[in-house]
A = this chain, B = another copy of it.
């Protein structure tokens, strides 16, 4: 099939029907009314705004959740925003089907109405980036900017989003580190179309800085600071937020995910196929067979997931995994790779090793023999010999990885995220075996399909 044919076929599946579109609009009007009425009823000067993909009409067919932001005047004290915001959210939700309280920077309400998820999020009614006070305040500006600049290329955004989902590079959450919806919109606006974005995968990397808001002209100092900071962080892209020169929209985009996009973009152009958008579920292999095939070993540390959000926990697990990698290399083990995460209430660190046992003795090099330290070495050690002018001795060592790990942890010789140090020290150690709920993860890790560029 040609590019056009594939794209048209995919569009059939991701473009909302007239019915869905109509439903979404009526629902938005209805919800806005309810919100406005409820606010007035409570005597609150609050403007309701819809943000997110539904508000921008860039949502994928069947995926139309609502983000209804309740914007308070910017002179409202933060505590009042919190309190009244939750009160108002709850009052609105009372008129819908069901709801619960969720927590981000501030508590907010997650309601459901007519089968649709509706987040009711209090924020400040900012008109300008200088007013931004909380993390969510920008959303209103984002929505406004996209709607002003998208100029009917909504389907192009849908294609790009679906493509990114298909290649598993969509979402800016810490455990994904991919492209956010807003970033996808900016790229389409910048390059003109889905295909142009793909064709520019290499160029945007070399260009590095994307500045759709022309901040480098309007706010040189601030924008330059952002560019410098993000360049030092070695981000693949620095996309200066068109609504806030202090922010890199691609700050959470990892090299791995950009790399996937980079290869898949070219792959799609050279061999167009709907598979990129809707990959057929890959069969998960058996991790034990992988171990046999590779002749390597899997060491897994698991412990109860600490009560930390992923943004905190995952970096700490990664730091710990790197710590184990360094410590074990010093002990003559080869760490072929590592993987971290959590699943079913259990956090885990997986290490792929070349072996589980090492020789029982090590050769300990000593000083030159004709020194005072030479005499000490000679006296202290039982088996001593010379190679050239240097003394050597045999040193008994632990042979098995579990004993070695135990010693390392006991002596705090493993660099670790301190938030989890204690838990890791008491972690359960599994060798060449993982519990059911980790089997898939183990396979994806050992086969490297987790980060693979083929499939």
Contact = CB atoms under 8 A, between A and B. Distances in A.
Interface in A266-307: 293-296
B293 A360 contact: yes
Interface in A343-401: 354-355, 357-363, 369-370, 378, 382-389, 391-392, 394, 399
A383 B263 contact: no
A359 B334 contact: yes
B452 A388 contact: no
Interface stretch (A66-74, A82-90, A136-144, A252-260): A252-260
Scoring A262, A382, A447 by chain B CB atoms within 10 A of each residue's CB, the highest score goes to: A262
A383 B294 contact: no
B334 A394 contact: no
Contacts of A260: 386
A262 B205 CA distance: 66
A389 B454 contact: no
Nearest to A397: B295
Contacts of A355: 355, 358-359
Interface residues of A, number: 49
A262 B369 contact: yes
A337 interface: yes
A384 B452 contact: yes
Given A369-B263, A382-B454, A256 B359 contact: no
Number of copies of this chain that the complex holds:
2
Given A359-B294, A359-B295, A359-B355, A451 B387 contact: yes
Contacts of A259: 369-370, 386, 389
Contact of A255 (B354, B361, B382, B389): B389
A448 interface: yes
A202 interface: yes
Interface in A141-179: none
Interface of A: 202, 205-206, 236, 255-256, 259-260, 262-263, 293-296, 332, 334, 336-337, 354-355, 357-363, 369-370, 378, 382-389, 391-392, 394, 399, 447-448, 450-454
Given A256-B388, A294-B359, A337-B363, 9 more contacts: A293-B360, A295-B361, A296-B359, A332-B334, A336-B362, A336-B363, A354-B359, A391-B453, A394-B448
15 contacts: A206-B370, A236-B389, A255-B388, A255-B389, A256-B387, A256-B388, A263-B369, A293-B361, A294-B360, A332-B334, A332-B354, A382-B454, A383-B452, A384-B454, A386-B451
